[in-house]
Chains A and B, each alone.
Chain A
Amino acid sequence: MHVLNFMVRSWTGSRRAGIALSRGESAYKSSMERAALKLLLLDPGDEGTQRCRVGPSTLSFLGARIGAPLRISLPTGCCLCTVWPRHDLADGYLQVDLTCSTAGVRARDMTGFTLSVGQLQVLAYSRLTKATVRVVVKSAALKRSTPRAVLQETIRELLRNIYVSLHYVVTVAPNLQNPVMYIEILSVDPLVNEAGLITPQTSIKIKEVITYEWYRHLSEDTAKASVAGLDDVGKSLKEIIDLPFRFPKTFKKLGLSVPNGVLLIGPPGVGKTLMVKAIAKEVGAYLLCISDLAIYGSRPGESEENLRRVFEKAREMAYEGPTILFIDEIDSLCPKRGRSDNAPEDRIVAQLLTLLDGVGSEGKIVVTAATNRPDALDPALRRPGRFDREIVIGTPTLTQRRSILQLLTSDMPISTDVDLVKLAEMTTGYVGADLTALCREAAIQADSMKPVINMADFQEAFKKTQPSSFRSAIGLTECKPVTWEQIGGLEDVKLKLKQSVEWPMKFPQAFARMGLSHPKGILLYGPSGCAKTTLVKALATSCHCSFLSVSGADLFSRYVGDSEKILSQVFRQARANAPAIIFLDEIDSILGSRSHCKTSHGVSEQVLSVLLNELDGIGLKVTERRGSKLQLEGQCQEQSDEERKLEFHESLNTDFMVVAATNRPDMLDDALLRPGRLDKVIYIPPPDLKGRLSILKICTEKIPLDTDVSLQDVAVLTNLFSGADIENLCKEAALLALQENGLEVTAVKHEHFVKSLRTVKPSLNMKDLEFYEKIYTRELAF
């Protein structure tokens, strides 16, 4: 076959080369330098031979003898070949065998490229006397089963007659069946810049043997994953992961077992997984992730087997170097045991527990797990020896949010008007994932023509994104904005409300300076129809904070204990999204009073006790913490003024406020009304003459009035009318006008008001008012 081939081939190729040589030397040279060589796939026969095939004119240009070492600069690196002519002696093509190349050069990246001849460089070579190598074997099992002497001999044979350079990697052809995959040249002697030929006389020293898996891990790009705002958490996590890897002997000397488990707790999206990945990269550890999907199998016992296999693999990797075993969403893999219907899951939990215990004796493995539902975990998991340390990552604080935003926008073209501090202030309750979404949305908002993203884009994006914790929120309401001006009268009540709600949120420094803390809760009471709800709406509008409205419908459920759970969830959400206002309308119907209610096992009573606890409880749950413990304990000496200001804002804004409204203040439990709970009690009286007049003005704003209408007179006539009554009166009058004067009527006359006054009766009466007044005076007397 071969013989036939070259007999048929003509040798015009070499003739052409000869003609080319005789032309003007310099012009020829420069044109050759630029001449493009098309990269072709390698012939199968040349695999693993370290040959590169070029045409004769390239050969003669290079002035190389056949088989001379050649360095080829490829787009992704360099490779070292011996130069051979193509069988068909065609020019303009290049075929390269990548047996010896720099790390990261792969054959599949190379198809379709063209190189210029200038990228080929003929090297001189010297015979090496010594070489040190690192060997990459296929698997850990092979690594253990192959004796060192055999490996040495194998390496010798594989490297013989191969040209190498410092830090180049020799790839063993896959058709060879042997344990070695790659051989990395760590040092050569004599140290030459050119190629070194490994001869039978070269002494080869194996410096280390690693598995392919570990090699791949090492050669992965080491770009640092960026995490911001979690510095202190990161530090403690890094410490616990780093310690056993760095100082295993110290621990042994001290007779201590190495801490080897970390449980990360935090709401979704705060960056638990990212954190572990970043730390693993920083420490240079191998990260082995377990997802429950990969674990669960259909056959009985399969899941346990899979789990054991993963731990076995981790143990294998630990022979190579530090290994982190990361169990994401551990709550699904390790739920509480003991429920009757999930025996298979119990077995998995038991298996996991024993495996975790086994890890302790090995060292070099650190198990980390992340969850957002620590309460769902089996309690046996949460003890030292299994998970030695639990790290709570809370919703980011203002400063943390600022640094996250800084990181996120560092690669974005943002204009100078973007105020990150302001953005951070706006984005209360946003976690890292939400902030990422915000930035992405802003980038989408930005016009494609515009080179930069400005503040307006961020504001637009802010409207569209909401914190993820709010997606499943209970009682989150969006109400039509109401301004203070839309409520007539009640000037002193408005002032009081502003004082106790708006001021602490807007001017926290002033409150802090005066040593004031803002009220926890406010009770609005007064006869019905006197704008209690509207006042709260106006409050929510003016404060720009999260507004959660809870009514009995949200709260009561047919399951025992459910109502209490829902209420406490509302409070948890409010804390997560602070500053927030929780509005409990008709609080008397939600809560009973322990003194009034004779039957003492009512649901409302339970709800009341939850409310009391939430308002004035002993503290927060650990998982709801914001920032870190250190920050809570306060170490703000070395902070700049601006930072301290931010801290003020933050610490005062971490809280929420409860606003309750009722028209039956006597029905409320006394415990609810003491300071520290609903400590500000505001009486909303029925409108007086002046108030009624302003209500009338507001109500008749849209009703065309005749000139004879005197609102002053109407106001005098509407004694004991509540705001709602007055609104109703205006409607009645307008309707009456329509009824009497036909549909073409343009104005409401005074007589219409007078007439409708006959039908519309005030909803308040003196007795009620006296009752409220009595309570009010009692409040004053306190």
Chain B
Amino acid sequence: MAPAAALSAMAAALEACSAAVARQAAAWRQALAGCSPPLDSLAGLAAQMRAAERLPWGSSPLAAFGDLPERLWRKQRGAAEALLEQLGSRRAELRAVRDAVGAAVASALRLYEERAAELGLEAALRRGPRCPSLADALEGLQDVERHYRHLYLEIQLFLLRISCDSLADMETLPQAWGKMLERYKEDVVEDTLLKISLFVDNHQELCSSEGS
């Protein structure tokens, strides 16, 4: 009963993979949540900088401190850079998640590739009443991997575009961030994890139904 053995092996691999993905998903959420405060601060900073630009220094009592605007600006720039650095470390975390997910998914897919002949097409396509097919599970894994990869790419480009030269853009950073995340729903990951757990729990069903 070769397909059944292969199916069990696949189930084991998928279980490991989904555990890894679940771990990484938690890390991802944490890293994403960590991005929001610096972005909010950056927006606030931008508002400050704009206000400082608009201020008529000469007519205020602060006119006596001639280099005040320049020093203030330098300070603000420094703060912005610190925030960006913070974001950079979050990005590194996200990157680690992406790489870990990529590796886990790749190993699962490779295992399927190796045992595909053994499994046969029919076994891969068969669904049970409570159990998704192996194809569904693999497809879900691929989707998850792509989801993290693409979202990371977009976050990276988003963070790169931040610059102190366009303060108006900087002020709207939190909104833009939210909008971007909105397009990438986490549903894919949750769906897939559910699918895989169903598959892992119930894959014996598939083998027994074949016998009947």
Contact = CB atoms under 8 A, between A and B. Distances in A.
Interface of A: 2-3, 6-7, 9, 11, 14, 17-18, 45, 48-49, 56, 59-60, 65-67, 84-85, 87, 89, 150, 153-154, 157-158, 160-161, 175-179, 200
B83 interface: no
A14 B122 contact: yes
Given A3-B194, A7-B130, A67-B112, 11 more contacts: A3-B195, A6-B136, A66-B134, A66-B135, A67-B142, A84-B135, A89-B125, A154-B153, A154-B157, A176-B153, A179-B157
A700 B161 CA distance: 101
Contacts of A56: 121, 125
Contacts, number: 86
11 contacts: A11-B127, A14-B125, A49-B143, A59-B121, A60-B122, A65-B116, A66-B135, A87-B136, A161-B106, A161-B146, A178-B153
B149 A160 contact: yes
Contact of A153 (B125, B129, B156, B195): B156
B83 to A, nearest CB: 20
A150 B160 contact: yes
Q: What 7 pairs between A and B have smallest CB-CB spacing?
A: A65-B116, A157-B153, A66-B135, A14-B125, A60-B121, A6-B132, A2-B191
A161 B101 CA distance: 13
Nearest to B98: A157
A175 B122 contact: no
Q: Is the interface of B mostly helix, strand, loop or mixed?
A: helix
A286 B189 CA distance: 46
A748 to B, nearest CB: 104
A174 to B, nearest CB: 12
B127 A6 contact: yes
Contact of A7 (B106, B129, B142, B150): B129
A18 B121 CA distance: 10
B169 interface: no
Nearest to A56: B125
Given A3-B195, A176-B150, A161 B112 contact: no
Contacts of A85: 125, 133, 135
A67 B133 contact: no
Nearest to A89: B125
A60 B129 CA distance: 23
Contacts of A150: 156-157, 160
Contact of A66 (B112, B154, B191, B198): B112
B124 A66 contact: yes
Contact of B183 (A3, A9, A48, A175): A175
A653 to B, nearest CB: 70
Interface string B94-131: 00000000100010010011001100011011110110
A65 B136 contact: no
Given A6-B127, A154-B157, A65 B113 contact: yes
Contact of A158 (B125, B153, B156, B194): B153
B84 interface: no
A157 B152 CA distance: 9
Nearest to B145: A161
B53 interface: no
Contacts of B106: 161
B154 A176 contact: yes
A49 B121 contact: no
A153 B102 CA distance: 16
Nearest to A63: B121
Nearest to B140: A2
A89 B121 CA distance: 13
B109 A18 contact: no
B26 interface: no
Contacts of A153: 156
A179 B156 CA distance: 13
Nearest to B116: A65
Contacts of A178: 153-154, 157
B129 A200 contact: no
A89 B126 CA distance: 10
A511 to B, nearest CB: 80
Contacts of B121: 56, 59-60, 65-66
B143 to A, nearest CB: 8
B138 interface: yes
Nearest to B191: A2
A65 B125 CA distance: 11
A56 B139 CA distance: 15
Contacts of A9: 127
Contacts of A49: 142-143, 146
A67 B113 contact: yes
B156 to A, nearest CB: 7
A85 B157 CA distance: 34
